[in-house]
Structure 1
Amino acid sequence: MKQIEVSIMGQSYLLGCPDGGEERLRQAVTQVDREMCAIRDSGKLKARERIAVLAALNLAYLLTDRPPAPAATQASAEGAAPPGAGLPPPEYIDNLIQRLDHALDNDGHLI
């Protein structure tokens, strides 16, 4: 297993990666970074952990809403998506933020 260094929202991470999976991992990191930066830039959240949880929820939502794509066409279809493309509507994001704030209200920790 190989290790690669990546940056998400300006923070460096050293991630384990199976041989031959570097490009897929870098694509995933780009998606997570784009999602987290979009949430941060909206100005509604400042805490990195809340941004990460909301980004994970948004990405999971997108995955459950998308029909499975054949492996050959998936890479070409995802290549040139503009930042923020495919995000849920702002009302959905606001609702998630409220639910997240409520869940974290007691001690600031999700788990």
Structure 2
Amino acid sequence: MTQNPPNTASVLILDKEYRVACPDEERDALISAARYLDSKMREIRRNGKTIGLERIAVMAALNITYELLHDDSGEKGSPQSRERIEQLIKKLDSALDTSRQLEF
């Protein structure tokens, strides 16, 4: 990955680099989340039933959200976990929007 300006992090998801605005103190957590997302997206792609990066990303997001919002007993997650999920989704949406703009 390349050198990043302050308050940004580069993450690699399905062999594609995304730069995401991120406070320095949250960089490690963001990179960890991106690695987890990458593994989930690769798993979905490997299963071969879902085609297209956007569809794979949506399916991974749904699976991860379900995992985070429900524990083994089926109970919903805490309001803090839901808020954190929403923040991460916004960051990923922003990165995907920037990526789409660069592709055109």
TM, length-normalised to structure 2: 0.61
Aligned-residue offset at 1:19 = 2.2
Counterpart position of 1:14:
19
Is 1:46 aligned to 2:51, yes or no? yes
Spell out the pairing of 1:26-105 with structure 2 (5 A cutoff): 26-66=31-71
Bigger CA radius of gyration: 1
SS at match of 2:24: coil
8 Å contact from structure 2 (residues 12, 18) kept in 1: yes
Task: Give the distance between the partners of 1:64 and 1:20, measured in 2 at CA.
Answer: 25
TM, length-normalised to structure 1: 0.57
Structure 2 segments unaligned to the other structure (5+ residues)? 1-5, 78-104
Q: 1:5-51: CA deviations, max 9, x gaps?
A: 11101111001111211110011001110110000011111211100
> Which letter does structure 2 place at the counterpart of 1:34?
S
Structure 1 moving runs of 4+ over 3 Å: none
Counterpart position of 1:105:
none
> Which letter does structure 1 place at the counterpart of 2:63?
N
> Which letter does structure 2 place at the counterpart of 1:37?
R
SS at match of 2:51: coil
CA-based RMSD of the aligned residues comes to 1.8
Indicate the percent of aligned positions where both proteins have the same amino acid.
37
Counterpart position of 2:99:
none
Aligned-residue offset at 1:4 = 1.3
Structure 1 segments unaligned to the other structure (5+ residues)? 69-111
8 Å contact from structure 2 (residues 8, 24) kept in 1: no
